[in-house]
Every structure is written in C-alpha cells, then in structure tokens.
Structure 1
C-alpha cells in the first residue's frame, strides 16, 4: 500500500511548499537524533525527511496524488536521496540556521541514504528486468569492524571538555564580555577520543568502497520512480547503521510507442482507399509478439482504435492498460490516369459534395483539436 506522505507530515493535499517545510521542522524538533536517541525516533525522523523530499518534488508529488508511491520497492521507487547535513539540522530546528546546545554528539550515527540512476528500455519496463549497477558508498571498515580503533579498544573521555563535547569561551566586545559555547575542537564534539585511530579509516569506522549489486525492476514501472533498497546506502559515522539506496529509473524513448500512464499510443498511416474499404495492420508489441490492428471500413482521419488490455501492465495491480492506434489517413498525391479516372467515377457515383459545417463554431472538441495542432 502506498504511504500517506501528507498524513506523515500532518498536512492536507493542497498544502503549499512553505506549509510542508513548516510541518517538517515542527516534527524534526521532536524526532531528530540530537534530541531523541531512540530507535523509534530515528525511524520517524527518516520517515518525515523522506515525506518532505517527496512532497517538495513536483514529479514525485504528482505520483503520490495519482495514488502511487515514488519511494516504495517496485513503485519506483521517481528527484535527491535523504542525506542530512548540518544545514538541514539547523533549518529543522530554527528555520534559517542557528546553534544547538546540550551535550556531546553520539559517535555512532545512522548513515545517509544514497541515490543513483539507471536507464531501461520501454520493453524492459513492460516486462520487468534485473539491472546490475555499481554503487560507490561508505561501508563499514573491515580492519577495525567499525570501532575506529586500531586495537578495537573503547574511546576515552576527552580531557579538554570533560566528556561534554562543548567548551565555553569568553570573548570581549564593545558590549562587554560574551560567553560562547562551541563544539570541542579536540574531540570534535563527541566528548570522547580514540587514542589509537584505525590506520585504514582514520577513526571514522567506515571507508569508501565500490560494489556491484543487482536491482530488480518490476514490470510496469514508470520513468522517474525509485526502487528502495533498505540498508544499501551509506554506513554512518562510527560504523552506524546504513541508510537506504534509491535507484531512480528512467525509460528510453521508443520508435513506435508513446507511453501515457498505463496506455501505449502509436500512429498508423492508412491509405485513403484502405480507410474506405477496411484493412488490417500488424505491429510488433513490447513483448516481441505480433499484434493485429483491424481498420474497419469507413475509418475517418484521426480516429482512434483501442485495443483493450494491450498496453503496459499496471504496477502493483492486476491487468494492463490499452493500446491506442491513432489513424492518419494518407491521401495519394501522384495518381496515374487510370487511378484518377477511377476516383472521378467514385466521386460521380457518390452522393454529396464538399461543404462548410455551419455549427463547427459550437463544437468544443473541434477547437480543442485545433489548439493541439498549433501546439505541435
């Protein structure tokens, strides 16, 4: 089931970007790891951060409004991943920046999410596929097993800040002496020091590594959606739990078909005489099989012929969309004498002649098609 991103942030579907950011900051003050270090809070903070990212991205928000979930496995799970820097933290607490206080930072921190993109063909989106991708992220340091210590010993309390992670300084100004609190420069705000840093990771507990993984791409996926791979993102500082990896999938253009939702559209050029008498056209569908499009006698220009269930499979639902053939009637320009004589005989035997439609001005559909033609 698609997640309720509006409900996660407590806003309605018509919320503006400013309202979404305000709701995020309100919840971040409650669930950010610096103020709430429980596992439940960490998961909630990740959840509201993803919700804000989705709703501030017009393309992903449109997927949500259509009932989809751009961040779920197989939904596309379609624009950045949820990494959070100090600027994000300050904005979450103060809106436009500020300073935080109160105790040392945890050395073991959850990792950021990671994002990569891959491109598939429309045929692969139709049938589903597996894609091998190369990921370059932080992974746990195998030399120290994430401890950051060469001997894997525990850190010791910082003698500069006494384990507080902060130091106070008195600065003179024209207003007098001002007391300021800053992060401890010796322990970088952790309140503890690793006395024998790991030679491979430099006490970070993680190193950069490139690895290949296989991504399962479900049938019916829409370009711009993302596939979420839990725990495949960046390992956190101090060997903290890894974030998630999001694979954003784009689809290539197809020489015959244009996708619109779950439907596939194509143009079929039909000679004038075939449109009058009827014919059949064969086309290779995205499964590599032959589909026959029957053109009934008397087919008119720009008429649409719908083949039910011949379109894209519906993602995470039963059934498939339709294949829609747009008929373009082709009028011959180079006629032989015999062909011209035959058409003249047909015209002479047919009742009616060219005329101006008097009520065309009241036909909204006519003007809609006219506007579409000028936009091309």
Structure 2
C-alpha cells in the first residue's frame, strides 16, 4: 500500500510552518495552473495534486491526522502488526479514514458531506475570417470564469481553518418539526441543508471558494466551421464547488461573409458571368474556388441564364462529417452587351433574319388555352 507524500508535493519538510505551506502552495499553483500551461495536459494533474496537498496540510486537524496516520501505518512492522491492536494505526480514527472515533461511526449521525456541484458552462464568441473558418485555425479566446480561490484552495474557509458541523441541525442538514400527527422535515436555514458551515470565511473569495478571473484559452476551430457553430472545450469553464468538476467552455464562431461565395450547408454557391456567345456556342471556362485557385468547367451549347452546374468536392470541409467536402455550385449569368459596334449589329440582324423565330409564341398559346 502506497500513499502520496503531501509534503513532497509542495517541496517541503515535515516541520514546515503554516506560512511556509501557504507560500509553497501559491508559488506552485501559479507555476502549474492550467492557464499558464495550456498545451500541457499534465499540468492540470499536477495542479490538482498541489491543491489536494494544500487542502490537507493547511487544515490543522487534517494535518494532525495525516502526520499521525502515514507514520504509524507505514512505519515499523506490517499493517497487521501489534501496535495498539489496530494494525499499525496510531488511533482508531485512522482506521475509519479520519472519523473522530467510534462515536462518529456508531451512535452519532455524521455531518453530511457537502454535495459536489459542477461548475457553470461559459460561452464566448470569436470572429473568424472566411479563409480561417474554411481551413481551420488555432486561436486564443478570452473568457471570464469563476476560478478556484488560490488562498483557500476552494474550500471557502479562511486559511488554517475548516468547516464546522452546523450547531442548529447537529450536522444533519435538516431539522424536524412536529405537526400533530405529522412530522415535517425542513432544510436547516443556517447551513442551507449542507450540515456544515464556514465559521471564518476566506477574505479573498468571501467564503464562496471561487473568484472571478479572466483567462486566455487556446481553442482549435475545425476546418469548415460555420457561422454560429459551437466549439466545446471540456473543463475550461467555471470551477466546480465543493469538489465538483469544472464546467465547459463553448466558443461560438462568427464568420465574415465572402463577397462572392454564399454558403449553403457544406456547399458554396457562386454566380459566374458568361458571354452571350459562350452561352450560345458552348465554351470551356475557369471558375474561382473558395480556398483559392481555379477549376475548369465545360459549358454546353445553348446554356441558359440561371442554369446551375455542380463541381463536386470543391465546397467546404464538413466540421461534423470528418472533413468530407461539399460541392461548389456554379450559377450561370449570361451577360448581354449594352453597346455593340456597327459590324456587330449587322451580324446580329443577319442572325435574326436567318433564324426568323418567335420565342414568345408558346407563351401566348399557353395564355389562350386556359
């Protein structure tokens, strides 16, 4: 059986004073705080070890139990050796994991453990350029969160003190009132139903265990991010209370509009002008792509204004489908010349005489048939 040396975690000797414990904690907490090491997952594990060590060693009663327990248990002899008949524990409280004695286990109701509360989720926005959203980008966002108070380690109690069993409810969190044939159970007003209360609140956080703090968080925006998409960053929201887990950070993307490309799902739509001659005779044209560069497109003869062509795989990567790309939708706009030369007019008039067609005949026939 092994245990973590809490003094070693803080880099201290076992005879360290209260001020030395606090100073070591603050120094190491700043060094290993996740905000100071955004790209190092191990820093969060180290930070929690430091917090756990400080929570125990800054509390006189917990420190006394820790100093007595590991020494007796891991000292001379085996755990089942003959030291007071308790298998090496210095006192019966060690055997029951820190209870005050038999009275706490049998016969007297313990103060209930405070319910762990998950931290709140935090939502922030980030503005993205069109190309950054298309290709993906790693950026930093500023988020204001409720972070764990470094002075009290999140307990809410002044350094060197601890929570106490509520005197009004005896640590039960509730009290009972007789109502004739009924007994009404209500939450204790003094402790809010938690069974414990803070006698001396921490001056830094006013007993809440948390302080408001602005932090810079690195977030990876996936390729193909859409306007209004939420990117979740686990565990980077507000700190939990009473030992609860942190909330999450949600980053909402706002993508600038492109002057040419309009997004439709994972597809992009672009309007491409073609000349009257190209539309009539057919032609091979080049079309711009959203990410830069060009793609060739074959127009058939007789292409009408507004006709759409699909260029597969030239749209946006899908942020939800593993990068599968959408399509580029090309919408043709036939450009009619506003001015023509004398020679061009003669050619067009000759074409009109040659074709001698009435393109509106079907229109009027349809109108009179109804």
| TM-score interval (norm. to shorter) | 0.5 to 0.7
CA distance in 2, matches of 1:244, 1:128: 21
Structure 2 match to 1:156: 164
Pick from 225, 236, 239 the counterpart of residue 235 of structure 1.
239
Question: Which secondary structure does the structure 2 equivalent of 1:275 belong to?
Answer: helix
Structure 1: runs of 5+ lacking an equivalent: 1-102, 362-376
Structure 1 match to 2:271: 267
Shift of 1:344: 0.6
Structure 2: runs of 5+ lacking an equivalent: 1-110
Pick from 286, 292, 317 the counterpart of residue 313 of structure 1.
317
Q: How has the CA–CA distance of structure 1 residues 319 and 242 changed in structure 2, closer, same or farther, with 3 Å as cutoff?
A: closer
Q: How has the CA–CA distance of structure 1 residues 352 and 254 changed in structure 2, closer, same or farther, with 3 Å as cutoff?
A: same
| Contact persistence 2:267–2:327 (CA under 8 A) | yes
| Contact persistence 2:272–2:287 (CA under 8 A) | no
TM-score when normalising by structure 1: 0.60
Shift of 1:339: 2.2
Pairing 1:33-48 to 2, within 5 Å after superposition: none
Question: Which secondary structure does the structure 1 equivalent of 2:332 belong to?
Answer: strand
| Contact persistence 1:204–1:239 (CA under 8 A) | no
Backbone CA RMSD of aligned residues: 3.0
| Contact persistence 2:228–2:253 (CA under 8 A) | yes
Q: How has the CA–CA distance of structure 1 residues 266 and 360 changed in structure 2, closer, same or farther, with 3 Å as cutoff?
A: farther
Pairing 1:87-166 to 2, within 5 Å after superposition: 106=114, 108-166=116-174
| Contact persistence 1:141–1:239 (CA under 8 A) | no
| Contact persistence 2:223–2:323 (CA under 8 A) | no
TM-score when normalising by structure 2: 0.61
CA distance in 1, matches of 2:315, 2:159: 61
Shift of 1:349: 2.2
| Contact persistence 1:269–1:330 (CA under 8 A) | yes
Q: How has the CA–CA distance of structure 1 residues 155 and 275 changed in structure 2, closer, same or farther, with 3 Å as cutoff?
A: same
CA distance in 1, matches of 2:146, 2:201: 18
| Contact persistence 2:138–2:221 (CA under 8 A) | yes
CA distance in 1, matches of 2:220, 2:278: 45
Shift of 1:296: 3.8
Q: How has the CA–CA distance of structure 1 residues 242 and 318 changed in structure 2, closer, same or farther, with 3 Å as cutoff?
A: closer
Q: Which has the higher contact order (CA 8 A, sep 6+)?
A: 1
Does residue 330 of the first structure (1) align with residue 335 of the second (2)? Answer: yes
Q: How has the CA–CA distance of structure 1 residues 288 and 154 changed in structure 2, closer, same or farther, with 3 Å as cutoff?
A: same
Shift of 1:227: 1.5
